[in-house]
Structure 1
Amino acid sequence: MLVHVNHCLILWYLCIAFMIIGVRVDSYQDGETTAGDIAGLTGIIAILAAWLFGTYWLRRWAARPPSPRARLKDWRRDLTALANGFLPSPSRDATFASIITPRNRRVREYPRFIGPGVEFGTLEHQRAKSVRWHYIAVALPAPLPHLILDATANNRRGSDLPVDVGRSQRLSLEGDFDRWFRVYTPTAYGADALYVLTPDVMAALIDEASGYNVEIVDDALVFFTPTIVDFGSPEHWEAVGAVLSSVVPRILAKAFHYVDERVPGQEVPRALTAVRTALADPEVAWTPPAPRIGADGRRLDVRDPETGLAPILRAIGWFALLVFLYPVPGIFAFAGFMSVIDGH
């Protein structure tokens, strides 16, 4: 960032300096260059040479590797992950599907730690306005209907969800759970959401995951929050461990036994089909039905604010800003310089 700001300032410095001399030569000196103009031009070039020398060292400073202290912090973090059974594995692409990993945006996952069926870390959107999420993603044994829980603890001026969810899909639950989470589920799948969000699951979510938004989509369970997490601190590891040990097993059990009977061929529970498979004649080939979710339950009706006219206007504004910062001063600096050179 400092390098880019420096380059922009150099262009504006040249623009102002050359335009002042150029206007003086053309407007007040009838196109003639005087000794004072040559002296001024020499001073401008001398300052530019010193500035470019400083720019060289600034670029070298910006390109240097992390300091030993920063690297030591990263090594300690990675060793902590290895000691707890997780492998450091950063990724430049999204490794799971969620509302925080839309297809139209590039993401970077760093740091990222993986274990059997689970990963967690920090996810950053690669765009002009950087957005970071601390996340925990868990693979479910079978898909569940789409479900979003918007935690109220991390809401400030409104929901911090990256998408707008239709209010008609809001589901109110018993007790004071609504004070902690706003629950959204497909309209026809309210009873299925209650199957997942049993009292023990709700209690575990309030006790151990009240700071996380939660999404269940297909066979992925994702906890995410905009809070920046420093994995060099033990409390963050303990918070992840509490979610994985207290909340996740309860939802995994629900996913294993859930059956969407709206889908033809799903009427027989999977536990029963497993028994029938074990007792079946080995000469008879029979495969239990793959668990599936009905079309109405696969996705909530959501709207991504980054689609439509708004991102187009934002891109146009960003392009106009770059033109103002770089080409405009460059063109006027060149015009002013040529006015001085053409003087006689």
Structure 2
Amino acid sequence: MDARWLTAPPAEVAAAMATQRRSARPAWVPTKRQMLVHLTWSLLLWYCFIVFMTIGVRVDGYGDNDTGPDDWRDLAIALVVLMVWVLVALLLQRWAKRPPAPRARLAEWRQTLTALANGFEPQLRIASPLPVLIGQPAGRASVYPRFTAAGDQRVEFGNLVWRTGMHGRPVTRGYLAVTLPSPLPHLYLDSLANGRTPGDLPTSVDRSQRLKLEGDFDRHFAAYAPSGYGTDALYALAPDVMAALIDDAAGFDVEIIDDRVVFSTPTAADYSDAATWSRIETVLSGVALRLVKRAAAYRDDRVSGQHLRPARVIGPGGRRLANGYRSRGPWPMLRLVGWMLALFFLYVVPGLFAFAGFMSIVDDK
């Protein structure tokens, strides 16, 4: 991999980027500044709710609907604080619209130029197209950054980002996906050397699908294949493939699904680090190339008339691991309803109570 742009002088990087006129950061990716602005406005709304409701309850409950001098004084102080807060929020919002800090912009330029120098294009995509276990539900996942390359061996890599549960913590995984010439049975290799708890699968995969492989491969990966497709999995995991996985991809979880193999890490990949690009090159030239050759020669004998089909297919029993997609069904709709209710209670409820409290103060009938 050509990694010269990761250490090139900043002036040279800026000059090269000016000729490219492209950026790897999409507008939908929030910055820390934008998150700060969002937090400021949200806290301001809750401040209005608490202050106005407190004064309003005091007027209605203890003042017999009569607004006294102390109430007007407290209201005036609250309004002054409110105006100052709004001014600060507007200044923060203006500050957030400024271009990224030079250091962050330079880091983005370096990784973009490195990708271009190695034949990869920065591609923007909001929703993840990967139907893999690591990013379920894919409809709520996003990819940033994302780099792609076309050709005989279509490749894409980047960082996959999503949230666990409805309001769970954000999860980011680095990934590298390679398109195979024909599909293989669903196969998942859970790395035992990447810092995750052994057997900590991303979704509820039936543990009875675990394969027992010869040699010391089981000390590095826990392999899972659909029931009845163990022999086919052994075909894909030929001795040279297993050796390459141990030597070059021991820190990756590996999933073969349909006509794609996906290598992923439990943490985000740092594309400003030359070591990351070196690992990508190692995987592409090693184990990925071996899997491409195995896929090109594979046929599922359970499906009749494969030689008459324009494209090879996998039998229904081998296309997916059992329980690999528990996140489907009614859960996505329930999560959406839950999220809408959360927004209602976070914004609409305090806004209505703040207005009601303010009207209780000024209405002293």
| TM-score where L is the length of structure 2 | 0.81
- 1:314 Cα offset (Å): 5.3
Matched-pair identity in %: 51
Q: Residue type matched to 1:73 in 2?
A: A
| Structure-2 change in CA distance of 1:9 and 1:104 (3 Å) | same
Aligned residue number for residue 46 of structure 1: 80
Aligned residue number for residue 16 of structure 1: 50
| TM-score where L is the length of structure 1 | 0.85
Aligned residue number for residue 7 of structure 2: none
Query: What's the Cα RMSD here?
Result: 2.5
Q: Secondary structure at the match of 2:158?
A: strand
Q: Give 1 or 2 for the bigger CA radius of gyration.
A: 1
Q: Using the alignment, how far apart are the partners of 1:152 and 1:189 within structure 2? A: 23
Matched, 1:185 2:225: yes
Correspondences of 1:286-297 after superposition (within 5 Å): 290-297=311-318
- 1:156 Cα offset (Å): 3.2
Q: Residue type matched to 2:160 in 1?
A: L
Cα contact 1:154–1:160 (8 A) shared by 2? no
Structure 1 residue corresponding to 2:147, chosen from 101, 113, 118 = 113
Structure 1 residue corresponding to 2:161, chosen from 111, 115, 124 = 124
Query: Residue deviations 1:203-222, cap 9 Å, x none?
Result: 11011111111111121111
Aligned residue number for residue 279 of structure 2: 239
Aligned residue number for residue 216 of structure 1: 256
Structure 1 residue corresponding to 2:175, chosen from 120, 135, 144 = 135
Q: Secondary structure at the match of 1:125?
A: strand
Correspondences of 1:72-221 after superposition (within 5 Å): 72-102=106-136, 105-115=139-149, 116=151, 117-125=154-162, 128-129=167-168, 130-154=170-194, 156-157=196-197, 159-221=199-261
Q: Which runs of 5+ in 1 are unaligned?
A: 269-286
Matched, 1:326 2:344: no
Q: Which runs of 5+ in 2 are unaligned?
A: 1-34
Q: Using the alignment, how far apart are the partners of 2:315 and 2:225 within structure 1? A: 13
Cα contact 1:153–1:210 (8 A) shared by 2? yes
| Structure-2 change in CA distance of 1:170 and 1:48 (3 Å) | same
Aligned residue number for residue 22 of structure 2: none
Query: Residue deviations 1:186-209, cap 9 Å, x none?
Result: 211111111111221111101111
Q: Residue type matched to 1:332 in 2?
A: F
Cα contact 1:208–1:246 (8 A) shared by 2? yes
Aligned residue number for residue 337 of structure 1: 358
Q: Secondary structure at the match of 1:329?
A: helix
Query: Residue deviations 1:15-51, cap 9 Å, x none?
Result: 2222332233223333222233222222211111111
Query: Residue deviations 1:134-166, cap 9 Å, x none?
Result: 111111111111111111223534544332211
- 1:13 Cα offset (Å): 1.9
Q: Secondary structure at the match of 2:353?
A: helix
Q: Using the alignment, how far apart are the partners of 1:184 and 1:132 within structure 2? A: 23
